[in-house]
Amino acid sequence: MTELEVKINRMAIEKHVENIRRGLSTLPMLTHGRPGGLGNLRWTADLLLSTYFMASHGRPPSNGLEYRVGRSRGGFDLLDFKVATDHEFINDRGIDLSIVLGRRAPSKSKKIGLPVYGGGMSFGSVSLNFMLSRALAARELDTLTSTGEGGYPIPLREFRDHVIVQVATGMFGVSEETIQLAPIIELKYAQGAKPGLGGHLLADKVTATVAKMRESVEFTSLYSPFPFHSVYSVEDHKKHVDWIKTMNPEALVSVKVSTPRDIDMVAIGSYYAGADIIHLDGAYGGTGAAPEIAKKNIAMPIEYAIPIVHKYLVSEGVRDEVTLIASGGIRTAYDVAKAIALGADGCVIGTAEAVAVGCTHCGNCEKGRGYQIGITTTDPELSAFISPEWGAGRIVNMYEAWKLQWRDLLARLGLNSIEELRGRTDLLIYRK
Amino acid sequence: MSDPATMEHGSSRAEFHDLYPPYKRFHIETKTAPHRKQIPNPFYPRVRKVGLVKIVLNDFLRYGVKGFRKEYRNAVLSRPCIYGVFDSKVGGLMPRRQYCTGCMRCVLEYPNVCSVDRNPEFARFGDSYWVPDDPSLAFSSPMWVVNYEASTGKIPIKGMGFKGAFAGDEWDSMWTDMSEIVRPTRDGVHGREYISTLVDLGRKPSVVSPGESSEYRVASIPVPILFDFLPGSLANDSVQESIRLAAERIPTIFVDVAGLIAELPKSQLRSFAPLIDEGFGDMEWERLARVAMIEVSEGMFDRVSEDIRESAPGVPVFLRLNLRRGCKDKVAELERVVDGFHLIADFHGREFEVDSPRFVKDALHEIHIGLVELGARNETTLIVGGGIILAEHVPKAIIMGADAVSIDTSLLVALQAEFRGDVRSRRSKNVKHESFSPEWGAQRVVNLVASWHAQLIEVLSAMGMRDVRRLRGDVGRAMFNEDLEKEAFADIDRA
Ligand code: SF4
């Protein structure tokens, strides 16, 4: 490319960046002509638009957009709290929204400012700029984000106290050095969107940088097998946890599993193997690419898995020793609150953070260049659409709006902290 | 040819391999078979013309005089769509709608000028079972998915989480299980190639008595999917021939009128299941011993059963039963008389009952359990058809008690037959016929089965299962919405 061509290209990108940023503010305010093709039953047009609004303004919309539930006709969308809410938010700052991760060894426990942290999205499946946006936001909000299974890019190391390192079956980019860099190590056994199946990064996305980070070959598809080929029993699993603890004795170990029929057994097995955090990833969770048959049909939704595991851990007398984290289809502040009322300590968020920076939940992330506005892409041109500061600002804003909703809800429920909400199914009502 | 036991040392390698063919992994050969006709895109992008003119003017203003220079056109005219919808010479004035992926970037950039709606043409393309009333499914609706599978032979893969309803009443009321860390049966990715999808259809005695003539009559197929009979009003010659060719190549079994037996080449007889029903006139009985299996309707069974046994003593005989209340008793009564049952629901998966017809999965399960209670389940075979239109329905039907499934309208959709209203009954006149090359048609059907086979392996692999036969009736490998809801939400008040 000549210098002039580069310049012209940059001009075109600048134009589109401006347009997208303006559009994200304008679109939620459209009073007519809302595009009928936007959204779906889970992420409805209202949920997408209200998330754009929250990411722009730091508060929930008051123009009638539904920002709490979708229309999936089940799970979170039919659960409700037994209190009336209105648009006058009770913003009681005395209400404590923090949660403690890892209670087995109090010296290692980590408190985070929100009942949520960011889920693993690997370098390669998403752009570096988006990863940096998430990390910046995590630092500002005093929470965490996760590397996913694609290595630990150098620029992310500045945020090391807020970055979880994921160790998954492909071991891409995993080294003793990266394991020693993190406050939490996440052993990913499975992913809710493709439970029991391996991961797959399509060749188009394996650019030179991605290949280097993953210690692989450029433009060659990469597979993460299922399962860890060194783990076929709880005893093997324990060895795995011990291995991590030996390499980084200060770190908490999180075990991420999806939701089979015997999820209660998996959870207790993991507890006995020494996990500090049990992270359940439900069937309707997000992904960069997964077989449609797996997303819809394999494993149970998170709404069912949480109470099953919570009650079982209570009955085994170990519930207060482990932190139970839920993910997979948690879209809103209200989904988080419901997950906690069902028995989780907190949640992991992925898609909602992507929506905050403009994801439309269209599902094209698996396509060659990845998503068209620079989230799930490694294309340098498209990556430029999100600057880390802009992205972080929007993610922080979205969580500020969530905080407002949590404080308001807890105040109305007569609770002083989000931790008091855990397992309070008596506060829920099922509208079926 | 020599008997291997007495084969002399030094016999030729070819001779040995004739007797003991080397292991060959089952594989279905796929090849791209593009659509004959474009399926309407689920999305319909629109651009307001006045708005478009304003955009162009604004862009020229933005770049000033430079904007008029040829080199700068790229920036001035750079449009939001990376999928080529606005890439024709006149750009947004004539959007190339077939390329739209519904990504919404145009809407994000120009919310007052661009809009992307659902395409009503897409909803009209199939019937209510094929394009359910849930526009959010778009590229995940059965119509789109089956066409994709038939053209590529691949597993549909997409980004982002599932977009549809939390659960449904029919196939969507259950989820299949997966094995997490601790199941010793788990093979892992590298074991996937060794997962068997072979099924035996017919009578399998539970005890083998040496010396006695055993009642072992089976047809084995490497993938548990058969092609059901489609009457001439639904399937023209091109369709029928494509199905026959595909069945021969995969190989699997196709059910068709018994009279066809005289016309079929020998190679296709092995895949043929002649149907003897009320329309039966006569056939070449002497060729009957060479077919894969025989299917007889309820009304004809007494009339032809003796002739069949005489002409084809080693071929499994199936009773074709339309699902309705009372089928369980019929099956119990005849399970020793026939070698298996082909249970048929309507094309939308419902029983043939006027009042509250049950869904095929529930009717099937009742029959399966009835046989289990009789202690006869392992000796006989249940094939189920009707309402099985997506890859996921195959393992689900097997979990509910089927040994194998038969498919019907999926074949029509794969071959791009056009639906002009609901196609629910086998007597429907709502399918438009067109002629096409049976070669193309056969490849579409082969691709479809290859894709479903690969997806069945995905599901079995997720469960850590090596053999589809082990899945039959194993409801422990499924989770039902009703049960989970009761268990998980037991202590939550209902509104
Ligand atoms: S929705 Fe996306 S693919 Fe469709 S026209 Fe708009 S930009 Fe192009």
- HEC secondary structure over chain A: CCHHHHHHHHHHHHHHHHHHHHHHHHHHHCCCCCCCCCCCCCCCHHHHHHHHHHHHHCCCCCCCCCCCCCCCCCHHHHEEECCCCCCCCCCCCCCECCEEECCCCHHHCEEECCCEEECECCECCECHHHHHHHHHHHHHHCCCEECCCCCCCHHHHHHHHHEEEEECCCCCCCCHHHHCCCCEEEEECCCCCCCCCCEEECHHHCCHHHHHHHCCCCCCCEEECCCCCCCCCHHHHHHHHHHHHHHCCCCEEEEEECCCCCHHHHHHHHHHHCCCEEEEECCCCCCCCEEHHHHHHECCCHHHHHHHHHHHHHHCCCHHHCEEEEECCCCCHHHHHHHHHHCCCEEEECHHHHHHCCCCCCCCCCCCCCCCCCCCCCCHHHHCCCCHHHHHHHHHHHHHHHHHHHHHHHHHHCCCEHHHHCCCHHHEEECC
B190 vs A169, more confident: A169
Atom of ligand 1 nearest to the CA of B116: 1
B118 vs A222, more confident: B118
In chain A, % of residues over pLDDT 70: 95
Query: Mean pLDDT throughout B317-325?
Result: 97
pLDDT score recorded for residue B41 = 93
- Taking only the tens place, the pLDDT of each residue in A314-362 is 999 999 999 999 999 999 999 999 999 999 999 999 999 999 999 999 8
B208 vs B327, more confident: B327
Q: Is the pLDDT of residue A26 over 50?
A: yes
Q: Do B107 and A27 touch (CB under 8 A)?
A: yes
Cα–Cα–Cα angle for B209, B293, B342, rounded to 5 degrees = 100
Nearest CA to ligand 1 atom 7: B81
B265 C-beta neighbours (distance < 10 Å), count: 8
pLDDT score recorded for residue B125 = 79
- A80 and chain B: CB distance < 8 Å anywhere? yes
ipTM above 0.90, yes or no: yes
- Taking only the tens place, the pLDDT of each residue in B272-302 is 999 999 888 888 888 999 999 999 999 999 9
- B3 and chain A: CB distance < 8 Å anywhere? no
Phi (first) and psi of residue B317, to 5 degrees: -115, 130
pLDDT score recorded for residue A224 = 74
Cα B11 to the chain's mean position, in Å? 45
> Is the peptide bond preceding residue A380 cis, with omega within 30 degrees of 0?
no
B1 confidence band (pLDDT: 50, 70, 90): very low
Q: Which residues line ligand 1 (CB under 6 A)?
A: B 43, 45, 80-81, 83, 85, 100-106, 116
Q: Is the pLDDT of residue A75 over 80?
A: yes
pLDDT score recorded for residue B184 = 43
pLDDT score recorded for residue B2 = 45
- A421 and chain B: CB distance < 8 Å anywhere? no
A368 confidence band (pLDDT: 50, 70, 90): low
When CB atoms are compared, the residue of B63, B161, B492 closest to A428 is B492
- Taking only the tens place, the pLDDT of each residue in B223-250 is 999 999 999 999 999 999 999 999 999 9
Cα B29 to the chain's mean position, in Å? 17
CB A372 within 8 Å of CB B103? yes
Among A183-187, A192-196, B11-15, B115-119, the least confident range: B11-15
Cα–ligand 1 centroid distance for B82 (angstroms)? 8
> Which residue in chain A is spatially nearest to B458 when comparing CA positions?
A197
pLDDT score recorded for residue A374 = 62
pLDDT score recorded for residue B386 = 98
- A299 and chain B: CB distance < 8 Å anywhere? yes
> Which residue in chain B is spatially nearest to A376 when comparing CA positions?
B159
Q: Is the pLDDT of residue B187 over 60?
A: no
B80 C-beta neighbours (distance < 10 Å), count: 23
Which residues contact residue B355 at a Cβ distance below 8 angstroms, ignoring those fewer than 6 apart?
none
- A113 and chain B: CB distance < 8 Å anywhere? no
pLDDT score recorded for residue A13 = 84
Residue carrying the six token digits 């029993």: A233
Angle between helices A302-315 and A333-342 (to 10 degrees): 30
B62 confidence band (pLDDT: 50, 70, 90): confident
Identify the sign of the CA torsion B263, B268, B269, B273: negative
Q: Is the pLDDT of residue B461 over 70?
A: yes
Q: Which two tokens stand for residue B302?
A: 């007494």
pLDDT score recorded for residue A194 = 77
B227 vs B136, more confident: B227
Query: Mean pLDDT throughout B44-58?
Result: 89
| 3-state SS record for chain B | CCCHHHCCCCCCHHHHHHHCCCCCCCCCCCCCCCCCCCCCCCEEEEECHHHHHHHHHHHHHHHHHHHHCHHHHHHHCCCCCCCCCCCCCCHHHCCCHHHCCCCCHHHHHCCCCEEEEECHHHHHHCCCCCCCCCHHHHHHCHHHHHHHHHHHCCCCEECCCCCCCCCCCCHHHEEECCCCCCCCCCCCHHHHHHCECCEEEEECCCCCCCCCCCCCEEEEECCCEEECCCCCCCCCHHHHHHHHHHHHHCCCCEEEEHHHHHCCCHHHHCCEEEEECCCCCCCCHHHHHHCCCEEEEHHHHHHHHHHHHHHCCCCCEEEEEECCCCHHHHHHHHCCCCCEEEEECCCCCECCCCCCCCEHHHHHHHHHHHHHHHCCCCCCEEEEECCCCCCCHHHHHHHCCCCEEEECHHHHHHCCCEECCCCCCCCCCCEECCCCCHHHHHHHHHHHHHHHHHHHHHHHHHHCCCEHHHHCCCHHHEEEHHHHHHHHCCCCEEC
Query: Mean pLDDT throughout B110-123?
Result: 90
B323 confidence band (pLDDT: 50, 70, 90): very high
Count CB pairs under 8 A between chains A and B. Answer: 312
Query: What's this model's pTM, rounded to 2 decimal places?
Result: 0.93
When CB atoms are compared, the residue of A27, A197, A292 closest to B111 is A27
Cα–ligand 1 centroid distance for A374 (angstroms)? 15
B185 confidence band (pLDDT: 50, 70, 90): very low
pLDDT score recorded for residue B65 = 73
A155 vs A367, more confident: A155
Residue B61 C-alpha, separation from nearest chain A C-alpha, in angstroms: 13
- A234 and chain B: CB distance < 8 Å anywhere? yes
CB B161 within 8 Å of CB A329? yes
Q: Is the pLDDT of residue B6 over 60?
A: no
Query: Which of the residues A239, A255, A293, A429 would you substitute to probe the B interface, choosing the one with the greatest number of B C-beta atoms within 10 Å?
Result: A293
CB A6 within 8 Å of CB A38? no
How far is Cα B181 from Cα B230, in angstroms, rounded to an integer? 45
Phi (first) and psi of residue A187, to 5 degrees: -90, 110
How far is Cα A393 from Cα A399, in angstroms, rounded to an integer? 10
- Taking only the tens place, the pLDDT of each residue in A241-255 is 999 999 999 999 999
Cα–ligand 1 centroid distance for B39 (angstroms)? 17
A209 confidence band (pLDDT: 50, 70, 90): confident
Query: Mean pLDDT throughout B401-418?
Result: 97
How far is Cα B156 from Cα B162, in angstroms, rounded to an integer? 13
B140 vs A213, more confident: B140
How far is Cα B459 from Cα B177, in angstroms, rounded to an integer? 8
CB A149 within 8 Å of CB A176? no
- In terms of residues, how long is chain A? 432
- Taking only the tens place, the pLDDT of each residue in B366-400 is 999 999 999 999 999 999 999 999 999 999 999 99
Q: Is the pLDDT of residue B182 over 60?
A: no
Residue carrying the six token digits 């396509």: A367
What is the best residue among B87, B93, B100 to mutate for testing ligand 1's pocket, by most ligand atoms within 8 Å of CB? B100
Q: Report the DSSP pairing between strands A184-188 and A163-167.
A: parallel
- Taking only the tens place, the pLDDT of each residue in A85-123 is 777 899 888 999 999 999 998 899 999 999 999 998 887
- Taking only the tens place, the pLDDT of each residue in B198-218 is 999 999 877 766 666 567 899
Query: Mean pLDDT throughout B128-137?
Result: 82
pLDDT score recorded for residue B470 = 93
Q: Report the DSSP pairing between strands B114-118 and A110-112.
A: unpaired
B466 confidence band (pLDDT: 50, 70, 90): confident
How far is Cα A312 from Cα B253, in angstroms, rounded to an integer? 48
Q: Is the pLDDT of residue A170 over 50?
A: yes
Give me the domains of chain A, ranges plus CATH numbers.
3-81 (no CATH), 99-430 (3.20.20.70)
> Which residue in chain A is spatially nearest to B394 when comparing CA positions?
A293
Average pLDDT value over all residues in chain B: 89
- Taking only the tens place, the pLDDT of each residue in A389-427 is 999 999 999 999 999 999 999 999 999 999 999 999 999
Among A216-225, B186-195, B283-292, the least confident range: B186-195
Atom of ligand 1 nearest to the CA of B43: 4
Query: Mean pLDDT throughout B390-414?
Result: 98
Q: Is the pLDDT of residue A369 over 60?
A: no
When CB atoms are compared, the residue of A12, A75, A430 closest to B494 is A430
pLDDT score recorded for residue B358 = 97
Q: Looking at mean pLDDT, say which of B49-58, B89-98, B256-265 comes out highest.
A: B256-265
pLDDT score recorded for residue B311 = 94
